[in-house]
Every structure is written in C-alpha cells, then in structure tokens.
Amino acid sequence: MEGQRLGGRYQLQNRIGGGGMAVVYKATDLVLNRIVAVKVLRSQFGSDEDFVQRFRREAQAVASLSHPNVVSVYDVGQEDDTYFMVMEYIEGSNLKDVINERGALPVAEAVRIALQICDALDHAHQNHIIHRDIKPQNILIGTNGRVKVTDFGIARAVTSATITHTGSVLGSVHYFSPEQARGGVTAEKSDIYSLGIVLYEMVTGQLPFSGDSPITIALKHLQEPLPEPRQINPDIPQSVENIVLKALVKDPFLRYRSAKEMMLDLETCLAPERLNEEKIRFPIDDEETKVLPAITPEMMAQYKPEHQLDRRTGDEEGESAEVKSNWWTRTLIWVGTIGLFLLLAAAGVIYLLDAIEVPEVAVPPVTGTPVATAKLKIEQAELVPNVIEDYHEEEEGTVYRQEPAPPMRLKRNSEVTLYVSKGPEEVAMPRVIGEKASMVQQQLQQDKYKEVIIKEREDPEVPAGHVIEQIPAPDTQVVPTKTAVTLYVSKGKKYVKLPEVIGKQLAEARVDLLQAGLEVGEVSEEPSYEEQDPNVVLSTYPHEPGMEVATGTKINLRVSNGKYPADARIGSYVIHVDPDGEKMDIRIVRQDARGEGVVEQTIRQPQDLTLSLVLSPEKDAKIEVFKNGVLDQTHHISYENLE
C-alpha cells in the first residue's frame, strides 16, 4: 500500500511496523502538513466482523485517553474494505529493540521507563481501560526520551459487571499474568504483572520464563517459582528487586493494588535509605494439598522373609509350607493395617478441612454509591472494606471503582478495595494567548475541557488565526470537564473598501482616506490630458478604488499639475453647419485626448463653428455633428494634420 492515499489526505510512505492484525505505515497528513502513523487493518480481516470490531474498539479505547505517555489518536476512517486509524508518529524505537541492542539497562534508566509506563497505565485504569498486552514491543522510546504506550489492539473498556473474557486468551505469552494464562479474571492487576515482566527484562536483560511452546511458557507462569532478578544481576538494588517480586507474585491479591501504588514505590526505590532494605516476603499457604505416597510392589517386597528352607525332605516341605502360610498372613495384616490407617487419616483430613474451611461470599456491587453506603454493604456481606481516595470525575464521596468487583466470590473477612472520588482535580488553566487557535482547540478537547468556544475579532497586531484573549485567564484553577473555554481569535487587520477619490481635490481625498482608516502615501504631480485643474486626483496605486484593503494601508496618489504633457498637440478645427433655412438643434460630440466633450446649440442660419482640440501621439480626434438628433457629419483629425 506504499504510495497510496487514504481518506483523501493521508499519503502512505514506508512501512514501519506491524502485527498479526494490522500494518503500520509512516504517512503525511496533506491537510495539516505533518507526519503521522497510519495503522491499516490487514486485508484478509476486512471482511471478518470480529476483527473489524476489535480494530474499532482499539480506536475507541485509545481515543478516550489523553496522556503524555499514551500515543494519541487523530482520526479513524474506512475506504472501501480498508479500515485505518491515524495516530501520533513517534520518532525513535521500541523498548524490545533497545534491550536486544544493549542487554540489561542501567537500573536508574529502567526505573525511569517503568515510572512512565505506570503513569500511562494508571490513566488508562482510571478510565476503565485495561491494556492486556503490555510488552516491550508496545513501548516506544522517542528520540527525546519520552516513553509512549501504544497498541491498545486488545484493550477494552470494562465495567464492574464485565471483567472476564471467555472464548479466547489474548496477549503475548511471555508477558502473561497467571490469571490470563488460565483464562480467568483479566483486570488491572494483569497489566501490573505484565509490567513486572518488562521491568524484570530491563534490569536482567532476559525473560524469567521461556520454553519450546506457548503452553509450556504459560504453565511456568502458573506453576514455577520466579527466578530472582538479583541471582542474574547482583547489581540490582534490593529495593528494585522487591518491586519486581511484588509485581510478579502469582496471587493477584498480593500484588500492588493499583498502577499508582506501584508508581509511588518506583519513585522512591532508588533513594539511598531504601537501596538495602530487607527482602520482601509473602505468606505461605499452609492449606496447600499434601500428597501421600502410594503402596508399590517394591514397598511390599521389603517384608519378604530373608531366608527360605530348602525343600529336600518331607518334613522340610511341611515346615516350608507352614512358613509360607505365616508370611501371607503377616502380609495381609500389614496391608490391612496400612489401609485402615490411610482411611482414618483421609477421614481426619476431610473432617479438619470441613471444620476450618472459610465459606465464600459474593462481592456486592457498590460502584456509584456513597462511600458510607458502600462500606455498610461490604460489611454486611462479611467482607472488609479498604477505602482509597483519589481525584475522579464522580461526585466527591462516591465509589467510582471497586476491586474485586462482581461476580467475584471471596472468603469471608477478605478485603475489598473501594476507590472513592475526592471530586474532579483542579488544574491550572494553561496560557494559550498568542498560540494558533486550531492547535489550542485540539489540545483542549484532548484534555477533556467541557467546551471550547471560538469568537473572532479584528486585531491589527496579532496574526490571523492566533489567540488574542482567553477566558478563564491563564493559571486560573479549573476542573477541565466542567469548564467552558472561550478563545478570542484574531481575524487580522480590518479590511475596508478604498473610497472613490479620483477626480477630487487632494485635500478632500486626504479626508476621505483618513476617515476610512487608511493613510496617504506618496503624492506625485503629473501633467494630464484629462484634467487641467491642479491638485485633482488622477489615480491611486497600488490599489484601485473599491478594492478591499487592510486598515492602516498607505495609498499613493497621482494628482494633476494643471498642464498638458509635453507631446500634446493643441489646435482648432472649423465645422460648417447649415440649418437648411429653418431653426435647427445642433449637437456636436468631440472625442480627443482629453476624453469626450459635447457642444449643443440652436441655429437659424448657416455658420462656421470652431472647436479646440488636444491630441496625443496615441489619440486622434473624432467629431460627430447631429442635426435634430440625426447624425449629419463625421470628421476624423489625426495628430499629424491638426493645425
């Protein structure tokens, strides 16, 4: 598809990446004249409704996010059977290429990258978006060092009632969480586990689990203990290893409760007082099932008598038979005793399990309710509420998320985390005066301001299309989702029509121009055929009367000096007219270098009329005589023949 144009404005250049579902091209936005990345759904999936819906879901998921560490989505479109999404283009490389090229990264750099990924995930989780495919290939490192999370190809918005996925397991197996591997609950903590794998790979240069097949790797995530990072790279501080271990614990309830909690831990992990902290420990499950060994033929053989008598005489044969009989008796007694012991032991274990088993209860739905009501419902369900307050769009004191959420079941007295809104967070209104209005409007919309109102007005100083004034004023504390922003945008200088000043005296022309908001530029005097009165305006330049010009523009004037040009030929011409013995109206039309002139009179007798003429080398004279309105004579006088 290289060289193809999509949507009439995106010119595809070269391919820069791709996955199983789509191909990514570097492209030029011909309308905004900028470089973008265009993700195009592979052609074989264009007719597959499932893949198309997943592709659209990606666009919707990412478009709802606005964060400096998340790749922005500009546009989504379809052209015939080609589905595409236009995204921010990041100049740089992905984290996997960096690790392959450099091996284990310096711990400080790995922590810096993980912090930015955490920040992006926290923003996504706050918007109920789970990425579900965090891996180094989906982490872009810009040339400016900025980390960008991309490829929400299998992300989806979740609600408290839809936190599981059935039918298929999506993601990359090396970065699977145990719950993803078993096809169970896929929530925010799955992203934390995947980020833990990424951090592990950054500080050690290798993956914790590998195998010959995806199934083998998935089983290792479920069953095998994690190879500790400091065994591979002893230079890793204990505080950093503790973060990796906590993110990668197999029990999701022992992991970080949120990406924000992990981010706060990362922010302080390289502080001198934390570098040698104690190694983190996790509780051991004492109720883990114990397996008793089965009775094997080898175990039976150890009870066989060490010596047997030779059967050489009849008495010896009788004694041998008696010994053999006793051996079988002893064996049956042993088997019976062991069987009875195992039966009693099994019964005892079952009894103890029944006695100590903690019943499970359903987690009640409390999202959207006041915190007091939510805590009461959790306690009534014999669970323990843990309240975490944070800024959110929900009304203050309202539970906007719970973890875990229905339809999960927990053992009685287990903890349920309630995320309670402190109300929308106020931010300082950015200063946008002097910025280009179209870019400001796009940024404010991405920052989820309630409304952006554009009002235009003329301004002689500010270029057209740039912001003159903003309401609210810069640095005002506002809540974006509740704030309407008004931008006063410059139309540039005011435009007026150049007034008609040709033929007016210079003084009058000056007044007309100043009243229109214009200025008088150069005034030059020139001889003229048309105008013999001095200081009469002959022409304006570089603009002509009636044209739209910006206020403040200087208008140059040419005015008459009261003289004819040096090459003018001035003379006279005599015309004989005869009324034919009766009263007659005579009308004479003269055309020469001065323009057109008319002489009208009534005569009763023949007479000669003398007309003055002014000719130029380019303009001869023409005289027409009308008697009672009827053309009677026509005379042509050339420049050379004028006397």
Specify the pLDDT at position 227: 94
Q: Which of 130, 213, 208, 199 is nearest to 170 (CA)?
A: 130
Q: Which of 119, 122, 133, 459 is catalytic?
A: 133
Q: CA–CA separation, 458 vs 471, rounded Å? A: 18
Q: Which two tokens stand for residue 424?
A: 């929308």
Q: CA–CA separation, 1 vs 163, rounded Å? A: 38
State the residue for tokens 């987690």: 363
Name the 3-class secondary structure at 497: strand
Q: Which of 51-55, 309-313, 330-334, 567-571 has the lowest mean pLDDT?
A: 309-313
Contact predicate 197/153, CB 8 Å: no
Contact predicate 554/520, CB 8 Å: yes
Specify the pLDDT at position 325: 52
What is the pTM (predicted TM-score) of this model?
0.46
Using 50, 70 and 90 to split pLDDT, how confident is the model at 153?
low
Q: Which of 88-92, 233-237, 526-530 has the lowest mean pLDDT?
A: 526-530
In the chain, what is the straight-line distance between the N-terminal and C-terminal CA atoms, in Å?
A: 82
Taking the domain 495-560, which CATH number applies? 3.30.10.20
Specify the pLDDT at position 359: 77
Residue 194 sits at φ, ψ, to 5 deg, of -65, -40
Position 610 pLDDT exceeds 70? yes
Contacts of 544 (CB under 8 A, 6+ apart): 498
Contacts of 418 (CB under 8 A, 6+ apart): 366, 371, 374, 375, 378, 385, 386, 387, 388, 399, 402
Q: Which of 442, 475, 462, 446 is nearest to 454 (CA)?
A: 442
Contacts of 508 (CB under 8 A, 6+ apart): 501
Return the CATH fold of 427-490: Trypsin Inhibitor V; Chain A (3.30.10)
Using 50, 70 and 90 to split pLDDT, how confident is the model at 128?
confident
Specify the pLDDT at position 287: 38
Q: Which of 148-157, 290-299, 479-488 has the lowest mean pLDDT?
A: 290-299
Percent over 90 (pLDDT), the chain: 38
Specify the pLDDT at position 403: 84
The CA distances from residue 616 to 497, 565, 591, in Å, are 34, 9, 12
- Name which residue leads in pLDDT, 261 or 63: 261
Q: Which of 619, 605, 606, 616 is nearest to 575 (CA)?
A: 606
Using 50, 70 and 90 to split pLDDT, how confident is the model at 320?
very low
The domain limits of the chain are 5-274, 297-306+318-356, 360-421, 427-490, 495-560, 569-637
Pairing label, strands 427-428, 477-478: antiparallel
The mean pLDDT value for 478-495 works out to 89
Q: Which two tokens stand for residue 489?
A: 């945008």
Q: CA–CA separation, 418 vs 416, rounded Å? A: 6
Return the CATH fold of 569-637: Immunoglobulin-like (2.60.40)
**Total number of residues shown for the chain:** 643
Whether 569-637 and 360-421 are alike in CATH topology: the answer is: no
The CA distances from residue 643 to 60, 312, 612, 613, 614, in Å, are 90, 178, 10, 10, 11
133 is catalytic: yes
Taking each helix axis from N to C terminus, what angle separates 238-247 and 107-126, rounded to the nearest 10 degrees?
A: 30
Q: Which of 263-272, 330-339, 478-487 has the lowest mean pLDDT?
A: 330-339
Q: Does domain 5-274 have CATH number 3.90.1300.10?
A: no
Using 50, 70 and 90 to split pLDDT, how confident is the model at 444?
very high
* Residues 168-190: b if buried by 16+ CB within 10 A, e if exposed: ebbbbbbbbbbbbbeeebbbbbb
Whole-number average pLDDT of the chain: 83
Q: CA–CA separation, 95 vs 200, rounded Å? A: 13
Quick: pLDDT tens for 177-198: 888 877 665 678 999 999 999 9
Using 50, 70 and 90 to split pLDDT, how confident is the model at 299?
very low
Position 635 pLDDT exceeds 70? yes
Quick: pLDDT tens for 193-215: 999 999 999 999 999 998 877 88
Quick: pLDDT tens for 353-397: 554 555 788 889 999 999 999 999 999 999 999 999 988 888 899
Percent over 70 (pLDDT), the chain: 84
Quick: pLDDT tens for 4-21: 899 889 999 998 887 667
Using 50, 70 and 90 to split pLDDT, how confident is the model at 73?
confident
- Name which residue leads in pLDDT, 22 or 464: 464
Q: Which of 577, 570, 574, 607 is nearest to 592 (CA)?
A: 570
Quick: pLDDT tens for 235-271: 999 999 999 999 999 999 999 999 999 999 999 999 9
The mean pLDDT value for 312-338 works out to 58
Position 346 pLDDT exceeds 70? no
Quick: pLDDT tens for 100-111: 989 999 999 999
Q: Which two tokens stand for residue 316?
A: 């010896």
Q: Which of 529, 632, 615, 630 is nearest to 575 (CA)?
A: 632
Contact predicate 160/104, CB 8 Å: no
Q: Which two tokens stand for residue 408?
A: 């999960």
Return the CATH fold of 360-421: Trypsin Inhibitor V; Chain A (3.30.10)
